[in-house]
Amino acid sequence: MKCPHKAHIALVDGERFVLLRNDGQIFEPRLTKVAEPALEATNFSAGVKHQDAGSQMKGKTDLDELAHAAAAAEWLNAKALGGEMDDLVVIADPKTLGEMRRHYHKELEKRLVGEIDKALTGEPLDRIEKAIAAA
């Protein structure tokens, strides 16, 4: 995947949100941690469509995780609308990424250069760099 120089990378799962920046080249990313914003998950309606009884009983739907994904998307929307980021790559597990997509603002979508549907929040930066380069 092409990851432009100075692009932001949002690394998200249902509990953690880390913002990184590519200080390397387009096909050879070198990531630097920028921030780990504390999000207030308030949008618990985010997971309403996932509240079927079968999923709830099997523990496949966690409204806290879905609300966190919505909060991460809202935070990214605010930064995009404020002109604080130009290029963005979002890396999240499939469930989180799906929920985030439902909350993307049009301005954020314009800045999206790629998405990777993998859970990488616990991985070291060099493994994340390789995942971006291989995508």
Residues 40-96: pLDDT tens digits? 776 555 544 554 455 555 555 577 788 889 999 999 999 999 999 999 999 999 999
Q: Is residue 104 part of a domain?
A: yes
Give me the domain span that covers residue 43.
8-134
pLDDT value for 59:
53
pLDDT value at residue 79? 96
> Residue 2 domain-assigned?
no
Q: What is the pLDDT of residue 42?
A: 67
Q: How confident is the model at residue 14 (pLDDT cuts 50, 70, 90)?
A: confident
Nearest Cα residue to 99 out of 61, 36, 47, 39: 47
So what's the pLDDT on residue 132?
Answer: 96
Pairing of strands 8-12, 17-22: antiparallel
Look at the chain and report how many structural domains it folds into: 1
pTM to 2 decimal places: 0.85
